[in-house]
Structure 1
Amino acid sequence: MSSYVRPTIEEPVFRDSDGRVIDYGNLWADSPPESAYSVTEHPERYAPLHVIADALIEHLRDTYDVEIDEGPEAIAELVRPHRDTTRAVRIRPSDPDCATLTLIFTSYPGIGMHAGLLHDFYFPSCGCDACDSTWQDEADGLERQVFAVVNGNYRESVKRGLRPMVGYAFTFPDGASSGRTGAGDIPAARLDAADPILRALPDGWAAWPPRP
C-alpha cells in the first residue's frame, strides 16, 4: 500500500444491557437468529472508518498527481447517491486513463466509495448485527479497494443487449474480487458515455501517476 499507514484508532468498547463487553466479529457460533437481521444495536462502532477515510484522502493528496474537489457536486459521481451523505470528496488523477475515486461520509456512520464510472461500494455494505462485521474488517476492505484502483488493478465493463449489465473486477496482492449486476437503474446516457471509455481500456484503468 505504498507509504500509507493506517492511523491509530482507540478501540471502542460496547456493552450489552448486563454490562458484558460485546465481542463484535464473534457474536454467533452458528447461524444468527432471524431477529438479528433487523437490528443494528451500535452503528457508532463504525465511526473509525471516517478517520481512516480522512487518512486515505490525505495520503492520496500527498502522493499522487491529483486534484481534489470537496462539496455537494462530488455526490453526483455516485450511481446511487446515499441519502445520509454528510461529506463528499472527489479525487481526480491527472491522467484520464486512471479511475477517479469519490469518497462519501455518511451519518450512519460509514463510507461510500465510487470508483471509475459505474460502481459504488459501501463500508459497511450491511451493518446489521446478523452480519457481525467489525470496523477493522470494513477498513481492510476499503483500503484494499482504494489501493487496487490507485495501482491500476481495477477494471469495469458494460454488456449491452436486452438486459444490460455492468461489471467490475479488483485484483489484490493476495487474491481478487469481481461482480456483475443489472444496469436497469443506470441512466442510458451514462452507460452510453461510459461504454467507449471502458472499451478503450482493455486492461482496465491505469495506475495513478505519482505527484511531481
Structure 2
Amino acid sequence: MKKLVLACVLGSMFVASANASEFTINPMVGVSHNKTMSSNAVVGLEAGYDNFLVGYTYSGAEKTNGVDERFDMVFPGGYDALSVKGNSKHDYKAHTLYLGYQFNMGAGQLALKAGAELSKLKSNGVYTFDTSFPGSEGEYSEFDFRANSNNVIKPMIGVGYYMDNGLNFNLHYTYHGGNRNMKGAGTALDSQGAETRSVSYALSDKDFSTVMFTVGYRF
C-alpha cells in the first residue's frame, strides 16, 4: 500500500514537472522606429504554453519642436514686423498586445504573430508673438496649449525566430497612416488679459507606422 501511494506521488510530481516545462517566459529589449517620432527603446514580455504565445511590448518617445522666426511686411507708410518664438513638446506612448503560434524550423521555432497596438499622443507648447509697428515698441501676446489625441488602435503583425538555446529575434510592424486628431485647451494672453478656449486640430499626414526589432531570451 505504501509503495502504491509513493508511486502515485512520484507520478503526480512527474506530470506536474512535465506540464510546467511547457510554460516559457521571454523578456525582450530592442528598438522601434517611425518617421514621426524617430527611433526609441522597446521593452517586452512573452509567455508561452506549448506552441502558443501571448506577448506585450511598450515604446515611448518625446520630441520637441522649436520656432524662432521673424516676418517683415512692407506697407506705403513703413513696415510691420511679426516675430514668433516658442516650442512644442510631444509625448508618444504605444502599447501592443498580440498572440502567436510557433512551428518547428531548423534548430529552433518560427513564430507568426498578430495583434493590436494602442497609442496616444500628448502635446503642449508655448509661443510668444511680438508685433512691431513704426514708431512703437510693439505689442506682445502669448499662447500656450495642451492637447491629447484619442487612443488609436492599429493592427500589428510580426514574426519571431526562437533558437533552441533560448535566444530569439523578433520583427514587428504596425501601420499608421493619415491624420491624428488632437483636442485640448489653449490660453491666449495679451494686453486685454487671458482668454481660454478649446483647441482642436489635426496633425496632417504624420506617419506613425512602426517597425520594431527586439532580442529576447526564453526560459
Q: Quick check: which one's strand share is greater?
A: 2
TM-score, length of structure 1 as denominator length: 0.25
TM-score, length of structure 2 as denominator length: 0.25
